[in-house]
Chains A and B, each alone.
Chain A
Amino acid sequence: MRMFINRISGLDLRLAWLIMKKPVPVPARYRLGVLSRCLAASLGGYALASAASVLLGSLLPGAPAQAAVAAMMLGLVIYAAAVIWVFACRSAAKAWLGIGGCALLLGLADLALYRVAAV
């Protein structure tokens, strides 16, 4: 629990601030952490969802239109799941590592498959 307060302490800090009626300065570190998570969720999550969707599109069987539509619909679910995961993570750094790592791996797989298909 203590660890959690250190992690996402905005709610608790704000509550303390409400009770004491004196603004408790929110540490810059915390603000940066929230900003970093927002970026990881929106941009990182998008990169991950897009890369996963591309991979699914090239792997799913059936006509191209069918594979593409299935892949895009799943990509949207992956985006939402990625956002949840970023904010459930222990730290912003870990969130970036997870999202960035997955996106990178998927992106590389996409590139490799695209190359193979182009040959």
Chain B
Amino acid sequence: MRESFRQAMAWLHTWLGLTFGWLLFAMFLTGTLSYFKEEITHWAQPEVPVRALDTRAALEHAQAFMQGAASGASSWYIMPPNERRSGLEVMWPAPSEQGRAFISKQLDPATGQLLFVRETKGGDFFYRFHYELELSYPFGRWIASLAALAMLVTMISGIITHKKIFKEFFTFRPGKGQRSWLDGHNAVGVLALPFHLMITYSGLVIFMAMLLPATLFTVYKGAPAKFYQDVFPNAFPAPAKGEQAPMAPLSRIYDQAMAQWPGARFARVEVQNPGDRAARVVFYRHAGDRIAYLPGASLAFDGVTGQLLGSSGVDEGALLVGGGFYGLHMGQFANTAERWLYFIFGLGGTAMIGTGLVLWLSKRQLKYVRDPKPPIGLRWVATLNLASMAGLVLAVAGFFCANRLLPLELAGREDWEVQIFFFTWLAAFLHAALRQGQRRGWVEQLSLAAAQYAALPVLGLLFTGRGLPRAIAEGDWATAGVDLCALLVALLLAWLARKVASRATVQAAALRPARVMP
């Protein structure tokens, strides 16, 4: 290979990595948390009871509730409980004057009673942030996709740069400053390289129709909406007839759906035109029933007679390959062990980005060890490194604490949680700028974050009816798991803070005699 080509790729890896590294770190960390989206949501809503799973009964209760609460709605959406979701969620379009798209309620799946559940985005916040960045459609998704493309190119150029990739993988020189960061960066990068490539490319595949709209436009001769009719035929309801007709019980339709697809789980039951003669019920298959996600995999039934109208889901060719990438990215199929593997690999990807950012800086800071005022560019990178890494970890802690501490009756409570996340992050940035990204700043932010994570189980014990001891006793491992992880993270952050602090004193001691010399 031409040496100059490799150097050009090293340049690209360095600068593209630096430019997008901060954003990618946030996308990877929140995306990694999203593998436990349901568990975090469950932890965040301690009011939702854990019941024995009975989808049939849950659907009966949901139908009874909706017939009372949403009889005039154009459609109902019922999300039955499953192994990872204990609540029964129902949704329907909000009347236009309410200013939001849907009304959403949580029911007790065993009794059908309306539950009072604290308003929170829970795990959904991290999930949506990791690809929308809390920006309006489509800007957030475009920026996130651009970052994903940069990630893909950075990884390819990184692979080209490291010609001795496997030899370097087995090289680790700890305690050697910049060298150790390089070795660590190579190790986490190579260890899960197939995962990193898959997760980045599949992230782009998920948004490909948004990213390359011209393709659908031309293939479908100027009517790209037809693509969605081809792939999701059951998502387009026929117009209502305007004639009232009693609905078939959803539990009976569920039995038929199970006879059609034995052992299937259903993520969503959609009732189109409820109470009308043209009513239609669509059972959407849970994406976790297999690895490759099948777009639009569903069974449609006549809502009045309960007769099967048809099934959809194209299980071949490019749609299967695309669905495979989609399914691999989402990891819905994963059992507990596989889910932890996803989580660990995701953390590995986050660490790969983080070590890269630190490496960029430490390599250049070497020249300025004795300089009290390094160039402004380096100080900015140091500030952004601190704010984007330790600051984000702190902001996540802030979000979790807000979930436990905000008054339950607070109006717009779930928006407050999000605002606290961003205010914490902003404060961390200002603090990082004040400390110019130096070790002292790292120690302070990591220590504060450690204290916050350690406080989470205590707050749960004090302010919810489902503290850690009770969750363990009841075998509620989602709640217990989040609390236990918070403790583990607290220990890890405290250890990191100590380590950075000890390095800082060593460095200060090394600097002192240099100052007095002429």
* Chains A and B are bound partners: yes
**A contacts, CB < 8 Å to B:** 1, 3-4, 7-8, 10-11, 18-19, 21, 23, 42, 49-51, 53-54, 56-58, 62-73, 75-77, 79-80, 83-84, 87-88, 110, 114, 117-118
A58 to B215 Cα, complex, angstroms: 8
Cβ 8 A contact of B220, one of A49, A68, A110: A68
Chain B neighbourhood of A18, CB < 8 A: 364, 367
Known: A23-B375, A88-B8. 8 other contacts (CB 8 A): A1-B4, A68-B220, A72-B215, A73-B318, A79-B149, A84-B153, A117-B221, A118-B221
User: Quick check: is B433 within 8 A (CB to CB) of the other chain?
Assistant: no
A66 to B214 Cα, complex, angstroms: 15
Give the nearest-CB partner of B200 in chain A.
A80
Identify whether the interface residues of B are mostly helix, strand, loop, or mixed: helix
Give the nearest-CB partner of A19 in chain B.
B367
A72 to B7 Cα, complex, angstroms: 31
User: Quick check: is B133 within 8 A (CB to CB) of the other chain?
Assistant: no
Q: Are B318 and A66 in contact (CB under 8 A)?
A: yes
Minimal beta-carbon separation of B23 from chain A (angstroms): 15
How many of chain B's residues have a CB under 8 angstroms from any CB in A?
47
**Residue interface mask B298-317, A partner, CB < 8 A = 1:** 00000000000000001011
A54 to B317 Cα, complex, angstroms: 18
> With A50-B214, A76-B208 known to touch, is A68 a contact of B227 (CB < 8 Å)?
yes
Identify 29 residue pairs between A and B in the complex whose beta-carbon atoms are under 8 Å apart, listed by A's number.
A3-B4, A4-B7, A7-B4, A8-B11, A11-B14, A18-B367, A21-B371, A53-B215, A54-B214, A54-B215, A56-B215, A57-B219, A58-B218, A64-B230, A65-B314, A69-B208, A70-B318, A71-B215, A72-B208, A72-B209, A73-B205, A73-B318, A77-B201, A80-B149, A80-B153, A83-B153, A84-B9, A87-B9, A88-B5
Chain B neighbourhood of A62, CB < 8 A: 317-318
Chain B neighbourhood of A10, CB < 8 A: 11, 15
Minimal beta-carbon separation of A7 from chain B (angstroms): 8
Those of B375-425 within 8 Å (CB) of chain A:
375
Chain A neighbourhood of B8, CB < 8 A: 4, 8, 87-88
> With A71-B215, A72-B208 known to touch, is A64 a contact of B318 (CB < 8 Å)?
no
Those of B210-261 within 8 Å (CB) of chain A:
211-212, 214-216, 218-221, 226-227, 230-231
Chain A neighbourhood of B227, CB < 8 A: 64-65, 68
A80 to B435 Cα, complex, angstroms: 38
Chain B neighbourhood of A117, CB < 8 A: 221
Cβ 8 A contact of B212, one of A19, A50, A65, A66: A50
Chain B neighbourhood of A70, CB < 8 A: 317-318, 321
Q: Are B11 and A68 in contact (CB under 8 A)?
A: no
A72 to B8 Cα, complex, angstroms: 28
Give the nearest-CB partner of B220 in chain A.
A64
User: Quick check: is B53 within 8 A (CB to CB) of the other chain?
Assistant: no
Q: Are B215 and A75 in contact (CB under 8 A)?
A: yes
Minimal beta-carbon separation of A9 from chain B (angstroms): 10
> With A84-B12, A84-B153 known to touch, is A75 a contact of B318 (CB < 8 Å)?
no
Minimal beta-carbon separation of B499 from chain A (angstroms): 27
A68 to B7 Cα, complex, angstroms: 37
Chain A neighbourhood of B5, CB < 8 A: 88
User: Quick check: is B3 within 8 A (CB to CB) of the other chain?
Assistant: yes
Q: Are A54 and B11 in contact (CB under 8 A)?
A: no
Cβ 8 A contact of A11, one of B11, B153, B205: B11
Give the nearest-CB partner of B14 in chain A.
A11
Minimal beta-carbon separation of B294 from chain A (angstroms): 13
Cβ 8 A contact of B205, one of A53, A76, A84, A114: A76
